[in-house]
Structure 1
Amino acid sequence: MKLVTIALTCALISKAYPLDCFECVATGTGPCSQTTKTCQGNQTKCASFTAAFTEGGIQNTTKVKTCAIPAQCISGSFNTGISMTTVQTQCCESNLCNSQEPPALPESSTNGKKCFTCAADDNCTSTLECKGSEDRCFMVTLPAVGMVKGCVSQSLCSGSLIAAAIGDCCEGNLCNNALRIGQSILFLLLVPLASFFLFN
């Protein structure tokens, strides 16, 4: 019984100390030069994520390691028909456990879900076949870009990493036909995505 009590006490004490995680940002194929960071109280995870932005057959990647809250431990993709962004995240709970870099999510096949897209016309009435885990439709209005619609994974709608950037998510085929307004340009840009992870 004493051993159980001691073990529980040690576990509780260890949770009281801040977590230390590796921190870095790297774009392209360059290495991620790691430093260490002491996490804030609500950041109970060390995270390592790879975001890949593909447009016109060209893929650019951003790799980030940092502290995270549990809601940021998400993976998935969003697809506008012109471009696709995937996010692959690995989280862990011990000091400096985020040394590994997850690979970018692999190319997925279509899954039968369809959403409206603005890729082929200004009226956003073209349809897009969703891929992989993309089980929701989204729509957002971006400054200097206008209306953007497409497919998105449910995890990116609900997780705090990108949820604020995607204006509206909905279920059902072609459910994103209404003109609703979002406010952010984050979800088209990989570097601000990394900044969100590092500074929030």
Structure 2
Amino acid sequence: MHLFLIFGIVLLPKASTLKCFECLPGGSGSCRDTEKECPFQGAQCGALRVVTYAGDLKVSDINAKTCVTAEQCVEGSLNFGVSRTYITSKCCTSELCNTQFAPEPQKSNPNGKKCFSCDGKSCTGTVNCEGNEDHCISTTVDLGGEKTTMKGCGSSMMCSGAQTAEIAGVIKAELTCCQGNFCNSAISTRAGLLLLVAPLIASVMFS
């Protein structure tokens, strides 16, 4: 009897994980699909796109594919007035289903919410929030050795994403979020961390 149990355990099939296409951006900005066995149970196949605009000019468009968790399948944006970064994703749960890149972000309209913005000298400007940007945000980043304050609008996922711990170690910048028109005039409660540079967003999400 015990012998049959031992054989039964040995012959049990291993719990298989999903296989997805992986395509991580390199220095050229392009990538090539390879097949990857996901290293964890419950994975999904995902595609992520991070697009940054300066005004109407697209300055960065980064695509990637790999195994992701459900929490990494997010969409949102950061809007600082002079620049705006979108994150879009497309996730699925069947074998090698992430053949397509994530969609390009759609043009969104002002939603009535307003937040303060900065121009490098003062932070008294106004940003009209768009789409699902329902928070006012503030952060101070180190640009070339100088501390620069940035304010604007952000989607809720930017304030409470599953990636905040990983991102904190990369950018060492704190993002504060609040709800209510022009609530980002003073220091608000720490709500999360967010990567402000588009290439690093992609590298953290798919590391």
* Bucket of the pairwise TM-score, normalised by the shorter protein: 0.7 to 0.9
Contiguous gaps of at least 5 residues in structure 1: 1-12
| Displacement of 1:162 | 5.9
Contact 2:110 2:128 in 1 (8 A): yes
Contact 2:17 2:41 in 1 (8 A): no
CA separation of 1:198 and 1:53: change in aligned 2, threshold 3 A? same
Partner of 1:78: 78
CA separation of 1:151 and 1:162: change in aligned 2, threshold 3 A? farther
Contact 2:164 2:193 in 1 (8 A): no
Q: What is the SS of the residue equivalent to 1:25?
A: coil
Partner of 2:7: none
State how many pairs are aligned: 184
Q: What is the SS of the residue equivalent to 1:122?
A: coil
Partner of 1:34: 33
Contact 1:88 1:104 in 2 (8 A): yes
Question: Which residue identity does 2:197 align to in structure 1?
Answer: L
Q: What is the SS of the residue equivalent to 1:135?
A: strand
Return structure 1 stretches of 4+ with deviation > 3 angstroms: 29-32, 161-166, 179-182
Q: What is the SS of the residue equivalent to 1:192?
A: helix
| Displacement of 1:25 | 3.0
Partner of 2:159: 157
Cα distance in 2, alignment partners of residues 181 and 196 from structure 1: 24
Contiguous gaps of at least 5 residues in structure 2: 1-12, 169-173
CA separation of 1:43 and 1:150: change in aligned 2, threshold 3 A? farther
CA separation of 1:146 and 1:179: change in aligned 2, threshold 3 A? farther
Cα distance in 2, alignment partners of residues 42 and 82 from structure 1: 41
Partner of 1:5: none
Q: Which has the larger radius of gyration?
A: 2
The CA RMSD over aligned residues, in Å, is: 2.9
Contact 2:48 2:202 in 1 (8 A): no
Per the normalisation by structure 1, the TM-score is: 0.79
Contact 1:186 1:192 in 2 (8 A): no
Per the normalisation by structure 2, the TM-score is: 0.77
Partner of 1:116: 116
Partner of 2:94: 94
